[in-house]
Amino acid sequence: MKRILTLIVLLGLSLCAAAQSPRFKLGKWTEIRTAILQELNRSYVDSLPVDRIERRGIDAMLADLDPYTVYIPEEENENLEMMIHRTYGGIGAVIYKPDVQGPVIINEPYADSPAQKFGLVCGDEILAIDGESVVGLTSQQCSEKMRGDPGTQVVFHVRKLRSGEETDVTVTRERIKLSDIEYAGMLDGGVGYISQNGFSDGVGEELRQKVAELKKQGMQTLVLDLRGNGGGLMNEAVEIVSAFVPRGTVVVSAQGREADASYTLRTRKAPVDTKIPVIVLVDSGSASASEIVAGSLQDLDRATIMGERTFGKGLVQSIRPLPYGGELKVTTAKYYTPSGRCVQAIDYAQRREDGSVAHIPDSLTHEFKTAHGRTVRDGGGITPDVELKFREYSRLAYSLVTYGILEQYALEFVRGHESIPAVEDFHLSDADYEDFIAFAKGKEFDYRSSAKTYFDRAKEELRLDGLDEAMKDELDALEKSLNMDKEEFLRVKKDEIVPLIEEEIVVRYYFQEAGVKIRIRYDDALRQALSSERIAQY
C-alpha cells in the first residue's frame, strides 16, 4: 500500500510539473539568460557589446521559428510603415551612388514627383544636400537626408546633366505614395492588363477602379499579373477578390492558437464584374496575399490561374508592440483558401534556392474540391490550371543587372540623347548595341557562363583531391572550349540583353509605366496565356 501511495504522489507531482512546464521553462531560460549577461558584464575581459549580442540573440531565436517572425526596433519602424502603406515624405526619386567618394546621381524621378516638378532629371548629379557635401556618405545616408516631413524643404547643390552648370535647387518635400499598380491598360483583342507588384494599403480599391476603367474601354478579358508579387496585407487581397465575386463570398480563413487569430473573411462590397473571363499570372515569386487572390479565385472557379507553382507562404503575421518603441512581427495563424487548402509548404526545409516551395509528392498532399468540383491539392503554393514556359535568363544577364552595368549604360545613353521616340516606337538599334558592348567591355563584372562557373568549381575540387595534374590535358581542352571573351559572349546573348537595355532606357524618359510596356513587348508567357484554349468562361 505504501508503495502504491508513493507512486500516486510521484505521478501527481509529475503531472503538476508537466502542466506548469511551458511557464516554468520560460522562467528558467529567462533567468539563465539574465544570469549569463550579468556574469559577462562583471567578468568578460573586454567591454561587453550588449546591444549587438542581444540583437543577434533575438534574431537567432526568432529565425529558429519561421522566416517571417522578426523583431523590429524603433529605428526601423519607418521601414514597416513603408511596407504597409508604401508612403514616405521625400522628393520622389530613385538615386544612384556608385562611389562613396562621388556624387549622388538622380537615377529615376517618379512621375509628378517633387523631383520632377522642381526640374531634377535623370543624370543630374547632387554634390551637396542642405550645404553638406555628399562625398564620403553612403547612398543610404544620402537617402535619409533627402527624406523629411511633407511641406519641408531640402536644398541640393546640383551639377546639371546637359549643361554641366552647378546650381542650387530647392525642393519642397511631399507625401510620396508608391502605387502597387505598375500598369493598367488595354492590349490587342479587347484584353485588359493590370500589373500589380504589392498589397499595401489601398491597392484593392485602386484595382477595382482600374477594372471599371478598362471595362469602359471595351475590355472583354482581364489579365491580372501577380508574377513576382511577394504579397502584403490580407484585407487588400480580399478587396481585390471582391471585384470579381458576389458580395458575402468567403475568400480566406485563418486559424491560430488565440481566439482572435481564427476568423473568416468575406467580401463586403458589390463586385465590379462577375462574368468577364479573368486570367491570373503567377510564378514562384508570387507569395502570401498573391496566393490568397490566386487560390481563392481558383477555388471559386472564377479565374484561370496560369504560370508556375507559387511560393508557398500561408502564414499570417500580426504586429505586437514591445518596450522602447519596438515591435514584433509574429506569425499568429495559417490561412486557408475557400476549399480548405493551406497554402503554406508542408516543410520549411522543402524549399528551392529562391525560397519557394519544392515539388511535393501527391502522396503527401490532400485533395480538395473547387466550387465546380475540380480537384486541387494542398502541400504548398498554388498549382496553376495552365503551366506556362517562362524565359530563362543566362548568368551573363544576371551579372549585368547585379553589377549595375545596364543601369550605368542607361545613364550614359541619357547623357547622349536628349529625347527618344515614344515607347511604342523605341527600339535599340544595332549601332546602339555596339555602343553598349564597347561600354560593357571596359567594366569589371563576372561574365562567365554558368557552365564555366561549374567547371571552375569542379577544377578546384579536382585540385583539392590531387587529381588535377593527372587530368590536365582533358581539363585544358574543356576549359578552352568553355572560355569565351566578354565581347563574344555579349554578341551571343544580344536577343536576351536588348529588352533589358530598352527597359532601363525608357523608364528614364517616360517613367515606370514605360518599362512595363517594354516587358509586355517581349513577354512570351503572356502571349502563351492569351493563346491558351483553357480560359474559363462564367
Mean pLDDT in residue range 510-516:
94
- How many distinct structural domains can be found in the chain? 3
* Neighbouring C-alpha atoms within 13 Å toward the C-beta of 383: 17
Q: How much is the pLDDT for 436?
A: 97
Same domain, 118 and 211: no
DSSP secondary structure, 218-229, as one string: T-SEEEEE-TT-
Q: How much is the pLDDT for 379?
A: 83
Return the amino acid letter for 28: K
498, part of any domain: yes
C-alpha span between 270 and 272 (Å, rounded): 7
Same domain, 124 and 187: no
User: Percent of the chain, pLDDT > 90?
Assistant: 64
Is the four-CA dihedral 333, 338, 339, 343 of positive or negative sign?
negative
Domain end position, chosen among 375, 391, 407? 391
> Per residue in 146-167, is it b (16+ CB within 10 Å) or e — as a string?
bebeeeeebebbbbbbeeeeee
pLDDT in tens, 255-298: 998 888 899 999 999 999 999 999 999 999 999 999 999 999 99
Domain end position, chosen among 148, 177, 206? 177
Same domain, 235 and 381: yes
Q: How much is the pLDDT for 378?
A: 87
Same domain, 173 and 284: no
Compare 246 and 51 and report the one with higher pLDDT.
246
C-alpha span between 467 and 479 (Å, rounded): 16
Q: Return the CATH number at 92.
A: 2.30.42.10
Domain end position, chosen among 371, 391, 411? 391
Phi, psi dihedral angles at 159 (to 5 degrees): -100, 115
Same domain, 347 and 404: no
Burial of 73 (C-beta count, 10 Å sphere; 0-12/13-18/19+): middle
Tell me: pLDDT of 536 over 80: no
Same domain, 116 and 146: yes
Tell me: pLDDT of 11 over 60: no
Band of residue 10 on the pLDDT scale cut at 50, 70, 90 = very low
Q: How much is the pLDDT for 252?
A: 96
pLDDT in tens, 295-313: 999 999 999 999 999 999 9
Q: Return the CATH number at 370.
A: 3.90.226.10
C-alpha cell at 125: 548629379
Tell me: pLDDT of 215 over 90: yes
33, part of any domain: no
Q: How much is the pLDDT for 471?
A: 82
Closest CA to 66 of 289, 314, 233: 314
C-alpha span between 436 and 413 (Å, rounded): 9
Same domain, 135 and 185: no
Return the amino acid letter for 461: E
Q: How much is the pLDDT for 129?
A: 97
Same domain, 363 and 497: no
Mean pLDDT in residue range 46-70:
89
Same domain, 193 and 239: yes
538, part of any domain: no
233, part of any domain: yes
Angle (CA) 107 108 112, round 5°: 145
C-alpha span between 530 and 525 (Å, rounded): 9
Band of residue 8 on the pLDDT scale cut at 50, 70, 90 = very low
Closest CA to 414 of 108, 118, 169: 108
Mean pLDDT in residue range 406-416:
93
C-alpha span between 94 and 115 (Å, rounded): 10
Whole-number mean pLDDT of the chain? 89
Same domain, 232 and 134: no
Strands (DSSP E) contained in 188-297 are: 191-196, 221-225, 250-256, 263-266, 278-282
Mean pLDDT in residue range 508-519:
95
pLDDT in tens, 448-493: 878 778 878 887 888 888 888 888 877 778 777 777 788 999 999 9
Phi, psi dihedral angles at 19 (to 5 degrees): -65, -30
C-alpha cell at 250: 468567403
Same domain, 404 and 378: no
Band of residue 5 on the pLDDT scale cut at 50, 70, 90 = very low
Closest CA to 312 of 368, 362, 380, 224: 380
C-alpha span between 498 and 484 (Å, rounded): 20
Mean pLDDT in residue range 89-101:
91
Mean pLDDT in residue range 187-213:
96
| Domain interval for residue 442 | 395-449+484-521
C-alpha cell at 147: 527624406
Q: How far is CA 323 from the centre of its chain?
A: 30
323, part of any domain: no
415, part of any domain: yes
Answer yes or no: are the C-beta atoms of 244 and 271 closer than 8 Å. yes
Q: Which residues are catalytic?
A: 288, 299, 313
Of the listed ranges 3-12, 243-252, 436-445, 482-491, the one predicted with least confidence: 3-12
Tell me: pLDDT of 9 over 50: no
C-alpha span between 174 and 117 (Å, rounded): 11
301, part of any domain: yes
Answer yes or no: are the C-beta atoms of 254 and 292 closer than 8 Å. no
Mean pLDDT in residue range 95-103:
89
Compare 214 and 358 and report the one with higher pLDDT.
214
Same domain, 193 and 286: yes
Tell me: pLDDT of 439 over 90: yes
64, part of any domain: no
Band of residue 429 on the pLDDT scale cut at 50, 70, 90 = very high
